[in-house]
Amino acid sequence: MDNNQIEEMIGLAIEQLAYAYTPYSGFKVGAALLTSGGKYYTGCNIENAAYTPTNCAERTAFFKAVSEGERSFQAICIVGGKDGVLTEYAAPCGVCRQVMMEFCDPETFRIILAVSKEQYDVFTLKEMLPLGFGPLNLA
């Protein structure tokens, strides 16, 4: 991945903040997921009064992609902040990391955490979920 592609993903993730449904926490999250074929899927977080049915932006993007037949992914960019103001990194929750583990190679899948196109860091899934449990554990 080059810097232009990373900046494009950050822009797409930031755009998703406008769609976030966060009447309870006010913490908006946007995500842009890149398939191995170069296609983007985006997502935002969607809260629910019962809390448990809330869906994170990352899972929204993954579920959209998987529901359309995608199974191979390169990277995801995640941005988030209170009232959509980006001040620090919004790392994926444990459930989202586990969903990534289902579909991604932990050694090569990239997770981009950003505050802006100028301020971001890139991690592997393995760095974010060191001893992850995935499909290979069941083989």
* pLDDT tens readout for residues 67-110: 999 999 999 999 999 999 999 999 999 999 999 999 999 999 99
Token readout for 25 is: 């926490």
* Catalytic choice (8, 15, 47, 58): 58
Closest alpha carbon to 137 in 129, 37, 78: 129
pTM (predicted TM-score): 0.96
Q: Are strands 27-35 and 40-44 parallel, antiparallel or unpaired?
A: antiparallel
Is the pLDDT higher at 40 or at 139? 40
The one-letter code for the residue type at 110 is R
Q: What is the C-alpha end-to-end distance of the chain, expressed in Å?
A: 31
Residue pLDDT, tens place only, 31-46: 999 999 999 999 999 9
* Known catalytic membership, residue 58: yes
DSSP string, 2-55: -HHHHHHHHHHHHHHGGG-B-TTT-EEEEEEEEETTS-EEEEE-B--TTSTT-B
User: Residue 132 — pLDDT band, cuts 50, 70, 90?
Assistant: very high
